């Protein structure tokens, strides 16, 4: 039985690996937490208003379950961060950037609309129809050419099969996903008792 799992997919977007954060493992979550704490601490003493605003803008790319759960955690953490670093909570900006025109596209529209209303009530800026085409150290660039100044991009926009799965020589489809038949047997190896 092959249960290889998956890994983040950045669609080849320049800068994601160098300047973005993925949320795929416990280690990723610790790295994000430490980065946010350091960034907010630096922003609290930053004299340049424009730089400070970028440092206090936290962007999540992707509006599936992982992205919306991540922004929910930031909503819950925002007031505590502001209190700990003697900031006005309104200085901390939260954004969800999504390439599609709607969020939570795996849900029916009524349920997704409830989540959208909640996010807007919590002052989360939903930037829709806005694929990210490049990530830099201090801003992201959207397909329409506009930019969002930020020092924190958390990438939750895609999943692909683990690259280790290629080592088995089994047939794969889009996103490195191994192909199985209706019985979860590896396609082409039905007589070998290989299950995916």
pLDDT tens by residue, the chain, 196 residues: 877 777 677 878 999 999 999 998 899 999 999 999 999 999 999 999 999 999 999 999 999 999 999 999 999 999 999 999 999 999 999 999 999 999 999 999 999 999 999 999 999 999 999 999 999 999 999 999 999 999 999 999 977 677 777 777 788 887 777 888 898 888 888 888 888 8
* Residue matched to tokens 């807007």: 120
User: What is the side-by-side strand order in the sheet with 147-149?
Assistant: 132-135, 139-142, 147-149
pLDDT at residue 135, rounded to an integer: 97
Count of other CB atoms within 10 angstroms of residue 148: 19
CA distance 43 to 99: 29
Query: Tell me, what's the pLDDT at 133?
Result: 97
The pTM for the full model equals: 0.85
CB of 32 closer than 8 Å to CB of 23: yes
In 3-state terms, what secondary structure has residue 186?
A: strand
70 phi and psi angles, rounded to 5 deg: -65, -45
């Amino acid at each position: 039985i092959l249960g290889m799992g998956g890994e983040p997919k950045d669609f080849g977007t320049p800068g994601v690996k160098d300047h973005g954060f993925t949320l795929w493992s416990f280690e990723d979550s610790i790295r994000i937490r430490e980065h946010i704490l350091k960034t907010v601490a630096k922003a609290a003493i930053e004299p340049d208003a424009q730089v400070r605003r970028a440092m206090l803008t936290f962007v999540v790319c992707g509006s599936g379950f992982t992205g919306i759960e991540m922004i929910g955690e930031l909503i819950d953490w925002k007031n505590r961060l502001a209190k700990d670093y003697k900031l006005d909570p309104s200085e901390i900006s939260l954004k969800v950037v999504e390439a599609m025109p709607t969020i939570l596209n795996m849900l029916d529209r009524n349920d997704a609309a409830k989540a959208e209303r909640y996010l807007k009530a919590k002052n989360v800026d939903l930037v829709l129809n806005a694929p990210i085409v490049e990530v830099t150290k201090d801003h992201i660039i959207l397909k329409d050419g506009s930019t969002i100044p930020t020092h924190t991009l958390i990438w939750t926009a895609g999943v692909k099969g683990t690259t280790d799965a290629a080592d088995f020589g089994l047939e794969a489809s889009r996103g490195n996903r191994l192909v199985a038949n209706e019985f979860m047997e590896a396609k082409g190896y039905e007589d070998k008792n290989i299950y995916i």
